[in-house]
Amino acid sequence: MKDKTTIEIGRELEDYVVQKMLEIGIQASRTKGSGNQGQISDINNPYLCIECKNRNTQDITLKEDVWDKLKAEIPLHSKRLPMYVLRNKNQKTWCVMEANDMFTILKGWIASKDEDGDSCVPSCQEVAHLKCIILELENKLDK
């Protein structure tokens, strides 16, 4: 059996992210050339600028200059937020974003939960509310 190339391994992670976004009702697709043919990121999405990195190590680190590069690639007029999706050799996957963005999204999600609050799986209504929270974040970025 032939070993997978790094491009094939990277595509698997990108496909995973796209599938998860589609499952919750957010439009997403892989960019051509995995972000290296005039595209900003690896995943085309109206809300996030997503860069995917597959690592052949157990431990994952994110260098500040790599994060700064991702943020700098987002055009000034864009309302998308930066996010890194990282996967290690054990297939564990993490999403990295700035804490203030994450807390704002969480605050909106918690506020949208039903009174019983038992369900951790977002409903379609909660996803729609999260989209509104993201739009609020976009408005803050414009100011």
pLDDT of residue 131: 73
Residue 94 pairs in a beta bridge with 86
Q: Is residue 42 over pLDDT 80?
A: yes
pLDDT of residue 21: 92
Q: For residues 35-53, give the mean pLDDT.
A: 80
User: pLDDT band at 142, cuts 50/70/90?
Assistant: low
Q: For residues 130-134, give the mean pLDDT.
A: 74
Q: Is residue 16 over pLDDT 70?
A: yes
Nearest one of 66, 64, 38, 65 to 52, comparing CA atoms: 66
pLDDT of residue 44: 86
pLDDT of residue 85: 94
Q: Which residues contact 93 (CB under 8 A, 6 or more apart)?
A: 13, 16, 85, 86, 87
DSSP letter at 115 equals: T
pLDDT tens, position by position, 47-98 = 898 999 888 889 988 888 888 988 888 888 888 889 999 999 999 999 999 9
- Token pair of 19, please? 């599938």
